[in-house]
Amino acid sequence: MASAETVTVSRLRDFPSPQGATAAIEAIFWETSHTSRFPSEADRTAYRDRWLGRYLEHFPEEAFVALSPEQAIIGYLVGCLVDPASHPLFVDVTYFPLFAHLTPDYPAHLHINLTAAWRGRGIGKRLIEAFADHAARRGIPGIHVVTGDGSRNNAFYLSCGFERLAYSSWNGNAIAFFGRRLNP
Ligand SMILES: CC(C)(COP(=O)(O)OP(=O)(O)OC[C@H]1O[C@@H](n2cnc3c(N)ncnc32)[C@H](O)[C@@H]1OP(=O)(O)O)[C@@H](O)C(=O)NCCC(=O)NCCS
């Protein structure tokens, strides 16, 4: 496999084939998803929409991809810059209100996933930096991630400059809010 230095990180909008991009991103989404069985096709569609589809549809300008030397998508970051605790699009994500005291200072949020073969080579960090730069240039004061409290990726976010600022319980799971201030 080629080295991670040959991987490029770019905005999704600069990828030449949007349809091909969506299929590749979706494949990585399902590869990394904790949930793969659903009671119905409608549940499966709703799950995909909640964690991926709505970002591609409503916030394509905020999406980034990591490309192999062959220009294959090997990782992605989707997100948005507006406060999700007060945006109607996220009303079904019931953990945002739990952190509404923090989201005004850290309004932008993101979801990031890499295909397994390319993890642990600094590519995730580069995707985070691309999103952080993008948000800072637009005057956003901070970014955040909500993830499983104590899960393996917590060390990744700490290494990327996030701090664990709050925790809660959601649907019986321990979750944590990781925030990172930006310097616009
Ligand atoms: C989490 C993920 C995006 C990180 O991307 P990555 O390219 O593998 O991470 P990097 O190589 O950029 O790692 C950057 C730092 O985080 C650390 N790190 C990365 N993944 C880690 C993990 N799972 N556990 C502990 N530390 C981790 C690295 O050691 C590195 O630290 P350093 O800079 O001090 O050396 C990627 O591993 C992934 O997609 N994992 C599966 C899905 C997932 O957990 N997504 C996030 C859901 S919230």
Residue type, 96: F
For a pocket test of ligand 1, which of 152, 153, 158, 173 has the largest count of ligand atoms closer than 8 A to its C-beta? 153
Average pLDDT over residues 32-48: 93
Average pLDDT over residues 22-44: 95
- How many A from CA of 136 to the centre of ligand 1? 22
Binning the chain into helix, strand and coil, the percentages to the nearest 5 are 40, 25, 35
- How many A from CA of 120 to the centre of ligand 1? 6
Cα–Cα nearest to 47, from 68, 33, 61: 33
Phi and psi (nearest 5°) for 176?
-135, 150
Pairing of strands 173-181, 163-170: antiparallel
Identify the sign of the CA torsion 109, 57, 29, 96: positive
**What is the per-residue pLDDT for 1?**
63
- CA pair distance 68, 7, nearest whole angstrom: 5
Number of H helices, E strands in the chain: 5, 7
**What is the per-residue pLDDT for 28?**
98
- How many A from CA of 1 to the centre of ligand 1? 19
76-99 tens-digit pLDDT:
999 999 999 999 999 999 999 999
159 token code pair:
């290494």
pTM: 0.95
Q: Which domains does the chain have, with CATH numbers?
A: 4-181 (3.40.630.30)
For residue 102, give Cα distances in angstroms to 7, 107, 141, 164, 180: 34, 8, 11, 11, 11
Relative to the CA of 75, which ligand 1 atom is closest? 39
According to the 3-state scheme, what is the secondary structure of 4-20? HHHCEEEEHHHCCCHHH
- How sure is the predictor about 19, in pLDDT bands with cuts at 50, 70 and 90? confident
- How many A from CA of 55 to the centre of ligand 1? 22
- CA pair distance 120, 118, nearest whole angstrom: 7
Q: Which residues line ligand 1 (CB under 6 A)?
A: 32, 112-114, 119-125, 145, 147, 152-153, 155-156, 159
Residue nearest (by alpha carbon) to ligand 1 atom 24: 152
Mean pLDDT of all residues in the chain?
Answer: 95
Average pLDDT over residues 104-119: 98
Q: pLDDT at residue 2 above 80?
A: no
- CA pair distance 102, 183, nearest whole angstrom: 17
**What is the per-residue pLDDT for 38?**
94
**What is the per-residue pLDDT for 121?**
96
